[in-house]
Every structure is written in C-alpha cells, then in structure tokens.
Structure 1
C-alpha cells in the first residue's frame, strides 16, 4: 500500500466545503417557515397582484428555496388565502378590540371610520380585492370570504345595537344598517384603489361620516 504524501494530505484537508443554504443550516419549525413565507408574500401580492406573483418571487423574497415554498403550500392561491387571514387578524383584531372597549358606541364607530381609510390601509384594500376576486373562481375562497363578511357585519351590528340600547343611535334595523355600511365601505375602497373616478382617503371618510349622521343620527 502506497503512503500518502504530506502535501496531498494537506491539500485534501484544506479543500473547501460545499456551500449550504442558510435555511438548511438552521432547521426552523414548520410554523416559523410558513409564517416567513406569508410575511414575504403579503407586500408582493399587494404591489403586483396575485396573478403576477409566482412561487419563485415569493421564495426569493422570503430567502428560502422554491422547494420550501411548495412543501408548505400548494401554490400562490393558498398563500394568498392564508396571508389574507394573517392580514385580517393584524388589521382588524386591535381595531375591533378598541371598538368594544370604547365606552361610547358612537365614538367607536367614528374611530372605525377614521381607521378604514388612511394612507397605511391602501395595501390592505389591495389584498382584500385580490382575495375577493379569487372567490369568483374558487368555492373555498368564496366560503372563507363569506365567513369574513359575517364576522365583520356581526361586529358592526353589535356596535350599532349597543349604541341604540344606550340611547346614542336611532336605528330601526341594526342588521340592515350594518349591511349598507359594509357595502358602502367596499364601494368606496374599490373606487379609492382603482382611482376611477378619483377618490382620496379623506373624501371616503367624509362619505362614511355622513352615512353615520344620516342613518344613525348619533346624539
């Protein structure tokens, strides 16, 4: 058996190791990797629209491999669905909590109106309308969207009824008033995002405050 020379042994010892992707070096829990993908997808979908965002785009933004994305999600539409749940929880949870804790229901509704249309909520509405459009082609999307609307309408109905019981509102039918309010919010948001015809956030808030004054006649 021939002996290995010190030179060749040293060369072998100094041979560089194969590069390992960061995600492979530190194995993160499944929920952490899923959240990482969703957080990266939100601004992409809001900026480009769900139809113009691919799995590779999301993987690149998240700093993970395409395989990691496809392992955890079936495709961009599933990512949109779960990202929208994350967005709704982040946006509405603190808002609805503040509405419930406000002693005056009228003040709670005014606070809601002012929070719906700001320069910071444009991304939220773009995501929402992408999610809305997906419901036209996917029954599961439509079902989840219906649940979101029911939750949203119930929060409004409860606030309106609380105000009526406290003598702050005049309202014959809280359910119908909530339906009209939600429809007006959606219509104003769509016009604001599309810009056709032009509408800014301040004007949208003014329309909603006028609705509040005419429909509920707060005292």
Structure 2
C-alpha cells in the first residue's frame, strides 16, 4: 500500500469534503438552491456520488455548511480590511473597497448572498447565520465608528448589494463612496 491509500484500500483524499462544499457553492451560483442536487455537486466536485452521503447527512447539512463557509469568508474580508486601517479616512476607503470589489464586483458573491437571504427569510437556522454575519460586519466597522453608525453603514452595504443584484442598469460610478460619505458627513 502506498502513502496515497488508506488501510481499507480507498484513496486518501483529505480535501474531498472541502471540494464538495466549494462545489456546492458553485452549483448554487449556477442553478440556485432550488437546483442543487447530490448528483450535480458530486459531478462539480469530481467525486463519486457516494461521497455525498459519506461526508454529509443530507443536502440540508451540505447547503448550511456551504453558506457558513461563504458568510465567514465575506465577514473575514471586511474584518481584514477594517483591521488594516488606522484612521477613519482609511476605514472609509476600506469600506468602499469592500462594497465595490468584495460585494458588488463579483456576480458569484451577489448570487450567493441573495440565495442565503432567501433561505434566511424562511428558516431560522439561516437567519442565525445571517445575523452572525451582520454582527461580525458591524463589529469590524465599530473599530472606527460608533455602534449606530456601524449599523447604518452595514445596512447601506446590504442595500447596495440588493440594488446591484436586482437593478438591470449599471451601478453609477462612485455610488458606494458617495453613500458612505453622506452617512459619515454628519459625524
């Protein structure tokens, strides 16, 4: 037996579970939560169909883990951006970059965000996930802004994301910067 196999003769594939979670996110982007299936995810991950039930009790567990990974990644991005700033002006620039690049600049993240919002509207487990995400985002913003301003800024971020996902027209250049500027102008 080589190092590539385990004692039962199966291939050792320690990243398989992670690949399945990542593939689930990509299937959701392409098909929506309504279109996800074990077969589609297994094909996208390049794993045998049986791996799905080996690693996850059911599709609900996989979807929840996939959205947990997604929400954590987005929360980590805003946290990193805010953590790397020293001044309020730097924080404003970082927030605008987060909106323009991390959220509005990527169709994948827009789709995943709104698929998650839809689930959260109906299922408390996903609402807990989105609440944790918002709490982390506001906490990152509170490094430079009071709690009320952080909540308002977070709401603007969510609102701009919603508009970007639903509006057929292009985002006006500088909209995120102007939105943030107007909010903090009164501070």
TM tier relative to shorter chain: 0.7 to 0.9
Secondary structure at the aligned position of 2:143 is classed as: helix
Indicate whether 1:130 and 2:115 are aligned.
yes
**Aligned positions, number:** 177
Q: Distance in 1 between matches of 2:46 and 2:59?
A: 16
Paired residue for 1:104, among 87, 111, 124? Answer: 87
Indicate whether 1:200 and 2:170 are aligned.
yes
Secondary structure at the aligned position of 1:65 is classed as: coil
TM-score between both structures, scaled by the size of structure 1? 0.70
> Which of 65-74 and 91-100 deviates more?
91-100
Q: Distance in 1 between matches of 2:58 and 2:143?
A: 37
Correspondence for 1:152: 137
Correspondence for 1:177: 149
8 Å CA contact 2:138–2:150 kept in 1: the answer is yes
Correspondence for 2:4: none
Paired residue for 2:98, among 87, 91, 115? Answer: 115
Q: Deviation at 1:40?
A: 1.3
TM-superposition CA deviations, 1:21-67 (whole Å, max 9, x none) = xxx741323xx221010121222211221111111100111111222
Question: Per the alignment, do residues 90 and 199 of structure 1 end up closer, same or farther by CA in structure 2, a change over 3 Å counting?
Answer: same
TM-score between both structures, scaled by the size of structure 2? 0.81
Root-mean-square deviation over aligned CA pairs: 2.4
Q: Deviation at 1:95?
A: 4.2
Indicate whether 1:63 and 2:35 are aligned.
no
- Structure 1, unmatched stretches of 5+, are 1-23, 161-173
Question: Per the alignment, do residues 210 and 151 of structure 1 end up closer, same or farther by CA in structure 2, a change over 3 Å counting?
Answer: same
Q: Deviation at 1:68?
A: 0.9
TM-superposition CA deviations, 1:86-117 (whole Å, max 9, x none) = 22343442442232122223222222212323
8 Å CA contact 2:75–2:133 kept in 1: the answer is no
Post-superposition, which runs of at least 4 consecutive aligned residues in structure 1 deviate over 6 A? none
Bigger radius of gyration: 1
Q: Distance in 1 between matches of 2:77 and 2:129?
A: 21
Question: Per the alignment, do residues 136 and 90 of structure 1 end up closer, same or farther by CA in structure 2, a change over 3 Å counting?
Answer: closer
